[in-house]
A and B are shown apart, each in its own frame.
Chain A
Amino acid sequence: MLITTTKGDMEESLLEKREGSVDNDNEMTTWVEYWHEGELVHRSAHVTLKQPVTFGDGVAAALG
């Protein structure tokens, strides 16, 4: 599979792949990095928002 990198499209097999994720009350995030000879050449991220912004739920009371 070809990966888009800072050096043009490169075969995935030539790259070191690193992945990670974060899951908390606010977001679920995954990211993937590809490194070539110690250099970051690709990074993508996918954030899923989980926390709505709300007017109500105690805010009205706080406003008095």
Chain B
Amino acid sequence: MANTQSMCTTFMKELMLGQHQFGTSTLTSRTSLTAPTTDTFKAAMYFVSATINASTTAYSATGEVTNTSGAGYTAGGLTVTNATAPLSTNTTATAGVAYWTPSASFVWTALTITTAFDSVLIYNSTQSNKAVSVHTFGSQTITSGTFTLTMPANDTTNALLRLSTT
């Protein structure tokens, strides 16, 4: 078993269905015609022994990290700061990219997880915990410390999520 970095396949379908809204609220809510709401996205971490990848359709506690001691990690992960709306740009008449990056790092403090973990799942907790993407990194353990996951630059080539026409 292993975790594999990928955009989740069902997420791409769900975009076409309008089931995810990133950034500040712009779309009339699917549950209210008068009060637009933005979805809440969360980030959950997984042990090296888990299996999350493009086939992951929703958040699951299976394989999710658990505290070795203390309470630094809460099941389900933390809420992703989602203050920046997706952007898009065209580079030529036939090529363009849309992109989005969380607007703050993911930070867990007072954390002790001594079993190796290597991935984070971003998912939409407003929409039945539908999976968005899996991001992997070198395996880590944390002992009475802080784990910080810093986001890449939110631009056309580095943004965490990219939809490209070419």
Chain A residues near B (Cβ < 8 Å): 4-6, 22, 26-27, 29, 31-33, 40-57
Which 6 residue pairs of A and B lie closest in terms of their CB atoms, listed nearest first?
A56-B164, A44-B145, A54-B162, A48-B150, A43-B143, A53-B7
Min CB gap A38→B, angstroms: 14
Min CB gap A37→B, angstroms: 15
A55 contacts B143, C-beta separation under 8 Å:
no
Chain B residues near A (Cβ < 8 Å): 5-7, 12, 69, 97, 99, 110, 112, 133-138, 140-152, 157-166
Complex CA gap A6/B110 in Å reads 10
A42 contacts B160, C-beta separation under 8 Å:
no
A51 contacts B5, C-beta separation under 8 Å:
yes
B137 contacts A29, C-beta separation under 8 Å:
yes
Complex CA gap A31/B116 in Å reads 14
B163 contacts A47, C-beta separation under 8 Å:
no
Q: A50: which B residues are within 8 A, CB to CB?
A: 152, 158
Q: B137: which A residues are within 8 A, CB to CB?
A: 26-27, 29, 47, 49
